[in-house]
Every structure is written in C-alpha cells, then in structure tokens.
Structure 1
C-alpha cells in the first residue's frame, strides 16, 4: 500500500498488528524488570505519543509518566542542534527512569535527553524505543534496553512520526520511496 504526504510518496513498512505484538513483549519485559520499583517513564514528544500511550497500556506496574519535548528535525532533514522545548517536570533523584522514544537515528536527541536526566541523579536510566536505525547512530548508548524494531536508515512516517507535521495519526508505519 502506498500513500502520499505533502507531495512525497511512502510505502507500507510495518503494519500496526506487528507493532501491537512487539509492544506486548516490551510491556512484559518492563513489568518484570521494574516489578519492585515505581519507575518514571519520560516520553520524548511529539513523536512518542502514540507509542507511549499504547506501551503504557501494557505496563501493569505502578509508574509515573511525564514528557519532554525536543526539536531535531526540519521537515525530513536532521538538524545538528537539538533544542529543548519542554523540560522535565518531575524530580528524578534516586528514581528508576525509562526514556521512551519513537525513533533513534543519529542519537543526538537521545544524548541530550540522557544528559538532562543525568543531572537529576536518577538511580538508573533505561531507553525504550519503537524504532532504531543502527546504521545512522553517531553515539553509543549503554542505556538502550528495549527496541521494538531495527530498521534501515530510511525516512519513516506514521504511528506518531511525521513529515512536515503530517502523518502522525497513521496507525501503520511507512517508509519514503
């Protein structure tokens, strides 16, 4: 199936059913790993909103949720500088923290978020991402613990990911053609 967004063509890459199955597995892993603590899930907006909402439906342990908002893209072009648009609203000192990302490509945004969280002196930091582009990574992350899908270094939309602000509402994930 192909779609067009803002004069750019995309083809189906990952169906929503595959995403749901993977989310159930990640949810089980999180429930086991954090069974005896009350972790703080920090979603990185805007892209994580659908993934985080569905993920939290699979997390059955006591937990808190908050969000940060970072800007690293202009259309389909990555920017060098990552800007913090909304910062942390919770004290994280001594807390177990899980950073929830929609996608990790270069890792520049994640690096900034981790640095922001580390300043709060948490007990631990883990990263959960729906999509990972290993070939695009410019940084190494020992915190990367939960990965939905590894994908090629392609531009993708849907399930929270956008192109020029459009396409976040699509339930499937599409790649540019």
Structure 2
C-alpha cells in the first residue's frame, strides 16, 4: 500500500476497504437482531458519516427511516470544541428508537451536543453507531456508544468519508497521518 498526500500532509494506510466492509456487515447483522420488530430512525451525522451510513443501511433489512444532521466542530486537524449546527434533526423523534450514525468519536463533544438535542424530543431509545472510536481522545464516557466498528489510536485519520480541510473523503481506505 502506498502512502497518500492530502494538502500538506502524508498519510499511511490504517484500515483497508475490505476490512471496513466486513466490519460494517457484522454491525448491520447485530442491528437487525437488536431492532427486530421495531422501526428505528437512523440519523447520519454529515458530512463525515455519508459513506459509512450508505454502506451500513445496505446491510439493514428491518423497517427503518433515515435522516441527517449536520454539525461542525473541526478546523484542520484539531477539534475546536465549538459546535455550529448547519441543519437540524428530524422533529418527530418522540417515542422512536434513534440510532445516531457517526464516522468517528474522538473527544465526544459533538456527540454530546447531538445526544442532548435528540433527548429533548423524548425518544424511546437512543444509541450511537460509530465506524471509528478514539478512546484516548474521549473527554467523558458516552453510555449510548454501543456499536463501534474499530477502536483506533489518537491519530489524525482521513478517507472513507473523513476529511482533512475538505479533501480526502473520497478515498476508499482509511489512512492515518505519518
């Protein structure tokens, strides 16, 4: 595998697309079992989760609905801790089972913000499904984080929906900065 260049940074392979797809299949199977005879609402967090969400939904064979929320808390390679909501949640989540789909959970600040917004609508249940999780970066535990594709080191990553200043989302593998 060759390294890739995105903007001024060089990245090396961390997770190959084949491994990502196998893990997503397993998460999909688990969600199908856990939500059998229910109709969850999947809420993808844009922009990063769009590829993960699309591939995950293809593995879901139970009745479900799909929505998106867009938030931003990153600038360059650092989480700036300031959250700007660009467009919001579905407004009909009362008594629904909600599955928030994230590309990555690192500090957890963005996710805490989203969870608070979802809880205001009094859903029946809320769970989080994230492709990547950086335990070393997490500021405080997130009880709702029940489905994780891969735990990774606290490295800056790009590819498979994750970007570096807008670029790299289209890479089919996930790379880490070298």
Q: TM-score range by the shorter chain?
A: over 0.9
Could you give the per-residue CA deviations for residues 80-111 of structure 1, whole angstroms, max 9, x where no partner exists?
21111110124000000000000000000000
Distance 2:34 2:135 in 1: 24
Residue matched to 1:68:
69
User: 1:80-91 to 2 correspondence within 5 Å?
Assistant: 80-91=81-92
Please report the TM-score for the alignment, with normalisation by the length of structure 1.
Answer: 0.99
Contact 1:92/1:121 (<8 A) preserved: yes
Whether 2:20 is the aligned partner of 1:22: answer no
Distance 1:158 1:144 in 2: 22
User: 1:11-160 to 2 correspondence within 5 Å?
Assistant: 11-160=12-161
Distance 1:172 1:70 in 2: 23
Please state how far the C-alpha of 1:37 moved relative to its aligned partner.
0.5
Contact 1:96/1:122 (<8 A) preserved: yes
Relative to structure 2, which stretch is displaced further, 75-84 or 60-69? 75-84
Classify the secondary structure of the residue corresponding to 2:121. Answer: coil
Please state how far the C-alpha of 1:43 moved relative to its aligned partner.
0.4
4+ residue segments displaced more than 2 Å: none
Relative to structure 2, which stretch is displaced further, 143-152 or 80-89? 80-89
Please state how far the C-alpha of 1:120 moved relative to its aligned partner.
0.7
User: CA RMSD of the aligned region, Å?
Assistant: 0.6
Contact 2:91/2:121 (<8 A) preserved: no
Unaligned runs of 5+ in 2: none
